[in-house]
Amino acid sequence: MRRATSLSQSTWIALADPTRRSILERLSRGEARVTEIARPYSMSLNAVSKHIRVLERARLIRRRRAGREHFLSFNPDPLTSAAAWIEAQRSLWMSRLDALDALLQSEDAAAAKTSKRKDKSR
């Protein structure tokens, strides 16, 4: 789950569907027409187009127009660069929380020393 939550939301939504993942797998083998993409699926062209739009919004698919033909290709950038950036942000926050924990523990240690001293002076 860690890995999953560290992708951006739109990427995550786009990938959270097996049909869309299989479309990406097809496109990762090379550029294809919308009709070619739709062929193996039992759903309507319209339904496949909806999946394609979700993937386009997440920038996982690029569209190239040649006359009346639309060609689609896979864009892996959001998967790699977003994931890497988010990992870096996660570790930044983690190091801040580590610093907070260290600070609180040092306060505890100092307080324990002070109370010990008080006990001795009593």
Partner 1 sequence: MNPQPQKAIVQVTRKFSASAERVFDAWLDPSTVGRWLFATPTGKMVKVKIDARVGGSYLIVEQRDGIDVEHIGEYQEMDRPHRLVFTLNVPRYSEENTKVTVEIRALDSGCELTLTHEGVLPDYVASTTSGWNSILNQLAATL
Q: Which residues bind partner 1 (CB under 8 A)?
A: 1, 3-11, 15-16, 21, 24-25, 28, 59, 76-86, 89-90, 93-94, 96-105, 108
Q: For partner 1, which is the closer residue by CB, 28 or 115?
A: 28
Q: For partner 1, which is the closer residue by CB, 34 or 83?
A: 83
Residue 63: CB minimum distance to partner 1, A: 12
- Backbone phi and psi for residue 17, each to the nearest 5 degrees, phi listed first: -135, 130
Residue 41: CB minimum distance to partner 1, A: 18
Q: For partner 1, which is the closer residue by CB, 50 or 78?
A: 78
Residue 65: CB minimum distance to partner 1, A: 14
Nearest to 91, CA basis, from 102, 83, 79: 83
Nearest to 52, CA basis, from 66, 67, 32, 30: 32
- Asked if residues 55 and 24 have their Cβ atoms less than 8 Å apart, the reply is yes
How far apart CA 63 and CA 52 sit, in angstroms, is 10
Residue 67: CB minimum distance to partner 1, A: 21
Q: For partner 1, which is the closer residue by CB, 3 or 120?
A: 3
Beta strands in 48-100, from DSSP E residues, in sequence order: 61-66, 69-74
